[in-house]
Amino acid sequence: MSDATLGVVPQSVDTIQSSYMAQVQRRRLYGGLTLLIFFVLMVSGFNIADGRNAGGFWDGLHQIGDYPADVLSEAWEKRAALPGLIAKYFPALVETINIAAVSTLIGAIGGLFLSLLGTRGLAKWPRIIPLFRRLSDVMRAVPEIVIALVLIFVLGGGPVPAMIAIAIHTAGALGKLFSEVAENADLKPVEGLASTGANWSQRMLLGVLPQVAPNYVSYSLLRFEINIRASAILGFVGAGGLGYELRNAMAWGPGRFDEAAAIFILLFATIVFFDQVSSHYRNRLTEGQGQ
């Protein structure tokens, strides 16, 4: 019996090796094919995009520095006026930040409810969990600009349409992230509270929120960073704030480049500032949790 097994071994090593090599080769072939398809997609995609663009890529590449150079040189010539312009556009900046802050606040509260109502084990009405999940999927899928443009038509221009649009998207996005956190929450405190006769809101407030709060706040801060950018962009399509001023300044063209430069500086400084602040606090929140 043992002889027979021994006799088979050298043969099977060969077969194992050859089948291993065959597998490796097939893997390489698949890997190469995937890479080739990816490469073809990139190149043809680039050509299509280049063909449908008003200006070509290779022509434009030379001009890429022209506009920033024009803006910077004009801003430099009128550098004495720059602090005044920055002060002039500061209220618009405050509006942009306010839009982001309010929409993050409202979105976080909405996301909180969506996540608690859409998580198994925590939901108040377990039967309609899928409804809340789909709702947050749809709210997440709608780009802000869609809601903003429709609301601008109904409510008129200004910060409110942008605020509502960003808040809806934020609620959907945070709802998903929050419910991933809530799924990992320990249910024992909830059961303990339930045994004392606590109602749903008490169970959530005392049993779940203390567990998930650091993560929730951390995600909300990240969202706030994203929302500042979003509120600046929505301003450009007519929703008030810094983006709106930028569009107006750009529409004037040369001669008003110093204003555009002032807005660029404000926007850049704001984004970098809030990035740093939020990443600082996020690190502190997640560090505290690790211990």
Partner 1 sequence: MTATDLSLVKHEADKLFQRKRLIRFAIPAVIAVYLVYIVFAFDLPGLAQRANLDNAVTLASDSWSHKVHVTRDNRSGNITYAVEGERKGTYPEGQRPHWVSGDEVVTIDLGGDHIVRYLPENRTEIEIPGFPLITVQAEGRALISNLPEDLPDWISASDRRIGITTPEGRITLTGARTEVFNYFPGWELFWFTLDSPYHGQSFATILIGERLDPDRSNISGAVSDWWNNAMWRHKDVAWAIGETILMAFLGTMGAAILALPLAFLAAKRFSPVMLLRAATRRLFDFVRGVDALIWTVVLARAFGPGPLTGALAILITDTGTFGKIFSEALENVDDKQIEGVTSTGAKPLQRYRFGVIPQVVPVLLAQILYFLESNTRSATIIGAITGGGIGLMLTQAIQTQKDWEEVAYYIILIIVMVMFMDWVSGWLRGKLIGGKE
Burial 206-236 (b: 16+ CB within 10 A, else e): ebbeebbebbbebbbbbbbbbbbbbbbbbbb
Question: Footprint of partner 1 on this chain (CB under 8 A)?
Answer: 38, 41-42, 45-46, 48-50, 52-57, 60-61, 63-64, 66-68, 95, 98, 101-102, 105, 137-138, 141-146, 149-150, 153-156, 158-160, 163, 229, 232-234, 236-237, 243, 246, 250, 264, 267-268, 271-272, 275
Smallest separation (angstroms) from partner 1 to the CB of 255: 16
Nearer of residues 91 and 191 to partner 1, judged by Cβ: 91
Nearer of residues 250 and 285 to partner 1, judged by Cβ: 250
Nearer of residues 116 and 246 to partner 1, judged by Cβ: 246
| Residue 12: partners with Cβ closer than 8 Å, 6 or more residues away | none
Smallest separation (angstroms) from partner 1 to the CB of 250: 7
Smallest separation (angstroms) from partner 1 to the CB of 143: 4
Pair 224, 103: CB distance under 8 Å: no
Q: For residue 184, with 0-12 CB atoms within 10 Å meaning exposed, 13-18 middle and 19 or more buried, which class applies?
A: exposed
Smallest separation (angstroms) from partner 1 to the CB of 28: 13
Phi and psi at residue 228, to the nearest 5° = -60, -45
Nearer of residues 104 and 115 to partner 1, judged by Cβ: 104
Nearer of residues 88 and 157 to partner 1, judged by Cβ: 157
